[in-house]
Amino acid sequence: MSSAWHPESRGTLTVHTVSQAVLNVRLAQDITQRLAAAIQARGFAVLSVSGGKSPVALFEALRVIDIDWSRVRVTLVDERCVPRIHPDSNALLVQTHLLQDLAAKAQLVFMVASAADPLSPPPVQAKVAGIALSAAGTADVLVLGMGTDGHTASLFPEAPNLAEALDLRNAQSCVSIELKKPPANAPYARITQTLAQILSSRHIVLPLTGPDKLNTLQQAWKQATPALPISFVLQQTQTPVALWLGN
């Protein structure tokens, strides 16, 4: 990416460029202010989070901020089709790094309900996850991530049913994703919120750091393309998106 390129806020997309050293603390403060406002307005708040290693530092910044966490429901943007106590489960990651300290009082809504094998087929799990997600309520804040390949949630460019998952007319909250060549470090089928479900949230945040991801962002900034699923989030005007860039 050219060092001269800096994305600018446009429409419903706002850009915050901050020091990488303070990004997670600043973003955690912004998120918890929104959750507190939702609790004040509706009596509860819904925070939807992504898995993987990237959000761990954000989770650890969130969990020490004093809000009424007992009124916060935490949902997952996507999940691996493994028992919820499996080491590669996003639910376990959230329990380990977010639902601690002050945030231990928050309620986690599981995408995979079972703690043991055998699990139901992925499409069945997706339907059950969708029911749980709908019951939790609209996400007040939804935290996305992005891979260098342009995937977000488990919306991968090579997913056989990507078009279905990106279709805004799709009434399903969640779909299963079964990649022909899954990542070697996480070779599982997955459940993911659909694009329509992601965009039903009240506010989306996307934190990004590193030159590789910024290069991908520059490509996704130009137009919506299935080759870079995150581009569909960046190009839409339905839902406010805050891009948080660490420099």
Residue 4 has a pLDDT of: 60
- Of the candidates 156, 191, 3, 174, the residue with the CA atom closest to the CA atom of residue 82: 191
Beta-carbon neighbour count of residue 237 at 10 Å? 10
Three-class secondary structure of residue 217 per DSSP: helix
Nearest alpha-carbon partner for 234 in 79, 31, 15, 18: 15
What pLDDT is attached to residue 40? Answer: 97
Q: 68-93: b or e for each residue (b if 16 or more CB lie within 10 Å)? A: bbebbbbbbbbbbbbbbebeebbbbb
DSSP code of 45?
Answer: E
Residue showing tokens 């870079």:
228
- What pLDDT, on a 0 to 100 scale, did the predictor assign at position 216? 95
Tens-binned pLDDT, residue by residue, of the chain (247 aa): 345 678 989 989 999 999 999 999 999 999 999 999 999 999 999 999 998 888 999 999 999 999 999 999 999 999 999 999 999 999 999 999 999 999 999 999 999 988 888 888 999 999 999 999 999 999 999 999 999 999 999 999 999 999 999 999 999 999 999 998 888 888 899 999 999 999 999 999 999 999 999 999 999 999 999 999 999 999 999 999 999 999 8
27-246 to CATH, choices 3.30.56.10, 3.40.50.1360, 3.40.50.2300, 3.20.20.10? 3.40.50.1360
pLDDT given for residue 1 in this prediction:
39
Q: What per-residue confidence (pLDDT) applies to 137? A: 96
Handedness of CA 10, 205, 212, 223 (dihedral sign): negative
pLDDT at residue 82 in the model: 94
